[in-house]
Structure formats: structure tokens, C-alpha cells
Amino acid sequence: MKACVIQFQGTGGELELVDALANFDAVEVTCVDDQATDLSAFDVIFLPGGASHGDYLRPGAIAAITPVIEAVRKAAAADTLIIGIGNGFQILTEADLLPGYFVINETLNFYEGYETVSFENGELTLPVSSKYGQYVLDEKVDDKQVLLSYQSVSPFGQEASTIAGVSNEAGNVIGIMPHFERATQPWRKSQDGLVVLVSLLNQVTRIGDN
Amino acid sequence: MYNVQVTISQKESVLNPAAKATFEAAEKFQAATFEDFVIKRLIEFSVNAADEAEAKSLADQFTQQLLVNGAMEVYDLRIEEAN
């Protein structure tokens, strides 16, 4: 399986994601920058977390108009699996590849911590970290598009959506706010991120049980 | 050359923690009542165009493509010829 990790200017989470993917021998990882124009060789494309372009204007806004996003659009249209994590999720909403938008946290402060989220038929402990983590959906999405949910309230604000991970209608473009890639190594507080990662990668090629 | 001012504000329906926090802080000023806070962003730039209509069209397009997110923000655009 060929995986691509996009490095936008200022992106900070790409190395953690590459480390997480290194858990799987079947995954061959290539990093590309935001000037890449052809991603057709990849089976799965990741937009990592970390405040690209300093979160200027709005988180993800500047990254969303870089050349690589046109390549991401083409890949999405060709049914390639696209996964945005944290800021990568914000980029996908700014690019209108996912519904909704993000606003600054209720406290106006950066928040990080471990949260319990519902995923598939169980509960996971995953790290979150964001200053602009309040996810707002003005439109109703189908239940099948909701992949992860916080327990009763978003950690970023009481009025925000409790959705922690969502897909587009087709199911191949996915945004996940918790940094599951930071919960995949044995020295981390939680390794529950592996459950998410295996489940996502299994959509492309079966690589194991989650 | 034309000077452009784009004033961006969140739609009233969108969560606005900054305005809410400012209102809550303002409640501590007891000499008066301050309310209905709106926090806006002002972005200024200049654009090279043949005339004001073209400048407005270019600036408007650019603003919609990058400066604002139409799902959550509204904007007011003003143009004047540079001296």
C-alpha cells in the first residue's frame, strides 16, 4: 500500500504520522510538499496535523489553496482514501471536501488532553490538541458519516458539535480531530490510535485486525 | 492602483467565543452597560487594475476564494483609488 503524507508549510505533525505508519510493513510512505500536482500513484493520502501556515486567516485556509489540494481533489474524485488529522481536517473543510467549519475554542485558549471517544462499537482514549477545535455543522450529515464522537460534549466548547471524526457522503474523504497518530507507540499513554489507523488502512488493503 | 479594505465578521449564527468573553469582561465595568459586541477583522491591500470596476471584481473574487469562509463569515469590501 502506497501512502502519501503531505507537508504543508508550518505543518508540525508529519513525523509522528510517518512513525505511526512505520508500524506496518505493508505500508510504503512518501512525503510530498504542497507544490505536488499528481497524487495518482497513492492508495491513501494523509493531511497531517500541526498549524499549517501559522493558522493565519483561519486554520487551514491558506493550505487549502495550495497546488497539492487540486491533486487531492482529483484523488478524492477517483475514490482514493483521503484522511485529514487535526489541522488536516480543518484544511479539508476549508477546501469544501468535508462539511462544516472550525472556530476558536470556547476558552479562547489552546487545549490538549486525552479524551474518550466512541469509535465503531467501542470507546477509545485519544489525544486532542487544538486552539480552533470547535467543530460546527450547519447541515445535517448522515449517521454513517459520523466516525468518531466525543462523550456528550466537545472538549473544545459546550456548544460545538460532538463529532470528532466525519466523512464525506462517499465515505472516502475523512477528517478526524483527535490525533490518533500520537497514540500508536508503546511509550505513549494510549495506543488506541492503532485501532483507528488499522481500521482506516483496512479500507484500502487488509493489513490486520483492529 | 486601488486601495482595498475588507472587513470580515462572523455570521451572527456562528459561535463567537471572543465576543462572548469580551461581553463577560465588560459586565465588570459597572458604570455603564456594554453589550452587542461584534469583533471584526480588517484586511487592507492594494490592487492593480484598469478601473474601479475591475479592481472591485478582482478584490471580490480574491476575498471569496481566500480571505473569508462563506459558511461562517460575511464581509464588507471598500475600494478607493490610491493617491
Give the residue-averaged pLDDT of B31-49. Answer: 90
For the stretch A9-26, pLDDT in tens is 999 999 999 999 999 999
Whether residue B25 lies within 8 A of chain A, CB to CB, comes out as no
Provide the pLDDT for residue B24. 85
Contact assessment for residue A183 and residue A127, using Cβ atoms and an 8 Å cutoff: yes
Q: Among A112-126, B7-21, B40-54, B69-83, name the one with the lowest average pLDDT.
A: B7-21
Provide the pLDDT for residue B22. 87
Contact A57 B10 (CB under 8 A): no
* Residues with pLDDT less than 70, chain A: 210
Percent of chain B with pLDDT over 90: 66
The strand pairing partners of B41, in sequence order, are: B8
Contact B17 A101 (CB under 8 A): no
Provide the pLDDT for residue A3. 97
pTM: 0.92
Beta strands in chain A (DSSP E): 2-7, 28-33, 44-47, 81-85, 101-103, 111-119, 122-130, 134-136, 146-150, 163-167, 173-176
Which residues of chain A make contact with B9, given a CB cutoff of 8 A?
A: none
- Greatest pairwise CA separation for chain A in angstroms: 42
Rounded Cα distance, A133 and A137, in Å = 13
Cβ-Cβ contacts under 8 Å for A170 (sequence gap 6 or more): A79
Query: What's the mean pLDDT when you consider all of chain B?
Result: 92
Provide the pLDDT for residue B35. 85
**Distances B8 to A60, A84, A146, B11 between C-alpha atoms, Å:** 17, 27, 31, 9
Higher local confidence (pLDDT), B83 or A189: A189
Contact B71 A61 (CB under 8 A): no
Distance of CA A197 to the CA centre of its chain: 11
Per-residue HEC secondary structure of A96-123 comes to CCCCCEEECCCCCCCEEEEEEEEECCEE
Distance in Å, alpha carbon of A149 to nearest chain B alpha carbon = 20
Distance in Å, alpha carbon of A38 to nearest chain B alpha carbon = 22
B53 band by pLDDT with thresholds 50, 70 and 90 = very high
Give the residue-averaged pLDDT of B24-32. Answer: 77
Mutate to test the interface with A, among B39, B66, B74, B75 (most CBs of A within 10 A): B66
Place of cell 505500508: A27
Q: Which of A57, A103, A107 sits opposite B14 (nearest CB)?
A: A103
Provide the pLDDT for residue B31. 65
